[in-house]
Amino acid sequence: MTFATANDLGRGKARIALAASMLLLAIATQPALAHEGEGVAGGFLSGFLHPVLGWDHVAAMVAVGLWGAFLGAPAIWLLPIVFPLVMAFGGTLGIAGVPLPAVETGIAASAVVLGVMVALGVRPPLWIAGVIVAAFAIFHGHAHGTELPVAADAVAYAVGFVTGTGLLHLIGITFGLATKWEAGKVAVRAAGGAIAVAGLAFLTGFA
């Protein structure tokens, strides 16, 4: 009975990951509307697509989910909550035109740092992990905010990019749950290393 339950759980997680991947694929095949949204509906869609279609954003946000899952409760839910909340604040700054230096550098650095945290299995105190995630979230949010389409509804746009971010966190968490097994820990840490390398590519201009 225990064996069957474990198999069912594994299949359930696989279905979640597959569904999330298919949703991302469907989104990516749509026209790039991130800069053309109009009104409430267009604003939400533009905001939703902005993090999903930006690979630098994707890498960092998936890493947040991976790190949270690696750290376990309460980080598994706290980090993916802290990031969107602080990101929304950064988005407000961007929409308001408040300048923030080195935004693109901060976004690329977030993928490097968060990827390294996962790859090395770093387990800092929860508040330190929260501060790291929050600091990088401001850069991501500011980038989203400054690229608000002229005709889009700002509130709907913000809700959209927070929703898109949550989806990316969920993908990271789903994969990160594999850390319950030794082979899964290796795979998750390898994914963290890949994210860190991608971050370096963004940081140095190779991607």
What digits encode the pLDDT tens for the residues 98-118?
999 999 999 999 999 999 999
What digits encode the pLDDT tens for the residues 114-170?
999 999 999 999 999 999 999 999 999 999 889 888 767 888 888 888 999 999 999
Instruction: Say what the pLDDT of residue 207 is.
Output: 65
| Domain assignment of residue 62, yes or no | yes
Q: CB–CB of 103/155 below 8 Å?
A: no
What predicted TM-score, i.e. pTM, was given to this entire model?
0.77
Instruction: Say what the pLDDT of residue 30 is.
Output: 41
* Lowest-confidence pick of 5-14, 42-51, 88-97: 5-14
User: Which residue range(s) make up the domain with 170?
Assistant: 42-204
Q: CB–CB of 118/63 below 8 Å?
A: yes
Distance CA 137, CA 148 (A): 17
Domain count, the chain: 1
Distance CA 30, CA 65 (A): 25
| Domain assignment of residue 144, yes or no | yes
| Domain assignment of residue 32, yes or no | no
